Every structure is written in structure tokens, then in C-alpha cells.
């Protein structure tokens, strides 16, 4: 049976899709990986993966099209979800997964969205989730990481740095690793390699 890693946050625009695509790409270096895009309306992860690039290392499908049988040959399923501020918490997503990764940016509004996202997980005693801070700039990410850790929120050590290379990569439908000429793209890609190692140590 594949291990399931879900990416979720009630808030949109917090780095879920970027994280799903790069986690899948990193895991794909050593494992068979299927990304399931559960953001029915936008399907941003799917369109990113549709880019013409020879070294994509994972398969991708709309979530609703995947049958259990289709997933059996994979080592990992990475599920990208949509932001859903209107309702629905992430408890069942966590319960159905080996690990729920909750990306957030270190700005005030995202941090507020994060607290609303985490509240039901905490009150239901869910433990298989980890917050991931992305788009770090000027020490704000480390600051938020420390604040969360002080409140006993499980947060990954790796903080993914901010770079405009992320938006460029999405627009060109290529992974960050395709930007060998772009110093910051390489660094963000290395951050995601570290994130992936940490995630693996949490799902084994």
C-alpha cells in the first residue's frame, strides 16, 4: 500500500501546490510517486506537471479519477488540496493520510488562517500533521517557526526561502530544478530536498 502525504490548509495562496509538486518531484528520485490533484476547480498542480520537461519524476491525475487499484503500484501518493475557508476542516484528511503537511507563509494573515486550520486538528487530538513555513523573507519565517514551536505546534525545521523563481517555474510549467542558471531557484529546490528528507523521517 502506498504511503499517503496530503498537503492542506484552509487558506489559499499559502504554497500548497508548490509544495505538492516539489515534494512529488523529490520523492520521485527514489520512489514511484503519484500526485493526486484534489483542487477540482483550478487543477494547478496538474497543469504544472503538464509542462514539457523530460525529467518529471512523478505521475499526476485528478483526485476523482484515481481508483484504488491505480494507486497500488506507487510508493507514495501526494495529495494537493484546495484552500477551503468556507468550511470543512482538515481532520478527515489527516485521518485518511499518513501525514498532513500544512504549508503557511510567515505573514500575519496566513498565520491567522493557520491558527483556524489547526484548531480542529488540535481539539480532535490529531498528531500526524506538520506545519511547513514557506516563502521566508528577512527572518520572519524563523520567527514564526520559533513562535509555533513554543506553542508546541509540530513544525518542520526546514523553512523554505522566498524567491520569485517559484512563480516563474509555475508559469513555465517546469520544476525549480530546471532552472540551473538561477541561483535562487536552486536554493529553493535544495530547501524542498531538505523538506522531503524531514517528511520521510515522519512517515516511515
- Spatial CB neighbours of 121, under 8 Å, sequence gap ≥ 6: 89, 90, 91, 94, 100, 129
Q: Which residues pair with 3 in a beta bridge?
A: 76
Pure H helices in 99-172: 108-123, 140-150, 165-171
How many of the chain's residues bind Mg ion (CB under 5 A)?
Answer: 3
Distances (CA, A) of 95 to 12, 117, 125, 170: 21, 15, 11, 30
Q: Which residues within the stretch 88-107 sit at the binding site for ligand ADP (CB under 6 A)?
A: none
Given strand 59-62, what is the order of strands in its sheet?
Answer: 59-62, 33-37, 76-80, 3-7, 99-104, 129-133
Contact between 158 and ligand ADP (CB under 6 A)? no
- Provide the minimum distance between the beta carbon of 183 and Mg ion in the complex, in angstroms, as a whole number: 26
- Is residue 118 within 8 A of residue 152, CB to CB? The reply is no
Q: Which residues within the stretch 4-43 sit at the binding site for ligand ADP (CB under 6 A)?
A: 12-18
- Is residue 121 within 8 A of residue 91, CB to CB? The reply is yes
Question: Which one among 170, 176, 185, 195 touches ligand ADP, defined by CB under 6 A?
Answer: 170
Q: Which stretch binds ligand ADP (CB under 6 A): 52-60, 114-122, 161-169, 173-181?
A: 161-169
Contact between 134 and ligand ADP (CB under 6 A)? yes
Rounded-to-integer distance, Cα 27 and Cα 21, Å: 10
What is the x/- site pattern for ligand ADP, positions 49-68, by CB under 6 A? --------------------
Contact between 167 and ligand ADP (CB under 6 A)? yes
- Provide the minimum distance between the beta carbon of 134 and ligand ADP in the complex, in angstroms, as a whole number: 5
4, three cell numbers:
499517503
- Provide the minimum distance between the beta carbon of 199 and Mg ion in the complex, in angstroms, as a whole number: 18
How many of the chain's residues bind ligand ADP (CB under 6 A)?
Answer: 18
Question: Which one among 9, 17, 19, 196 touches Mg ion, defined by CB under 5 A?
Answer: 17
Q: Which residues within the stretch 26-85 sit at the binding site for Mg ion (CB under 5 A)?
A: 44
Distances (CA, A) of 56 to 34, 59, 108, 154, 174: 11, 8, 34, 31, 8
Which is nearer to ligand ADP, 112 or 123 (by Cβ)? Answer: 112
Which is nearer to ligand ADP, 12 or 32 (by Cβ)? Answer: 12
* Binding residues vs Mg ion (CB under 5 A): 16-17, 44
Amino acid at each position: 500500500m502506498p504511503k499517503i502525504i496530503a498537503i492542506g490548509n484552509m487558506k489559499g495562496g499559502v504554497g500548497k501546490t508548490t509544495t505538492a509538486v516539489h515534494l512529488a518531484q523529490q520523492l520521485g528520485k527514489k520512489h514511484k510517486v503519484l500526485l493526486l490533484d484534489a483542487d477540482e476547480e483550478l487543477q494547478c498542480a496538474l497543469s504544472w506537471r503538464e509542462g514539457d520537461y523530460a525529467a518529471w519524476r512523478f505521475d499526476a491525475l485528478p483526485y476523482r479519477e484515481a481508483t484504488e487499484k491505480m494507486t497500488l503500484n506507487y510508493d507514495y501518493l501526494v495529495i494537493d488540496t484546495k484552500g477551503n475557508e468556507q468550511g470543512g476542516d482538515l481532520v478527515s484528511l489527516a485521518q485518511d493520510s499518513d501525514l498532513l503537511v500544512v504549508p503557511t507563509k510567515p505573514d500575519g494573515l496566513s498565520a491567522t488562517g493557520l491558527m483556524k486550520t489547526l484548531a480542529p486538528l488540535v481539539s480532535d487530538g490529531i498528531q500526524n500533521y506538520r506545519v511547513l513555513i514557506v516563502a521566508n523573507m528577512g527572518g520572519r519565517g524563523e520567527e514564526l517557526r520559533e513562535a509555533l514551536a513554543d506553542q508546541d505546534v509540530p513544525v518542520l525545521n526546514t523553512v523554505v526561502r522566498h524567491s520569485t523563481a517559484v512563480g516563474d517555474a509555475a508559469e513555465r510549467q517546469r520544476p525549480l530544478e530546471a532552472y540551473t542558471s538561477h541561483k535562487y531557484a536552486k536554493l529553493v529546490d535544495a530547501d524542498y530536498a531538505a523538506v522531503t528528507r524531514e517528511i520521510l523521517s515522519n512517515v516511515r
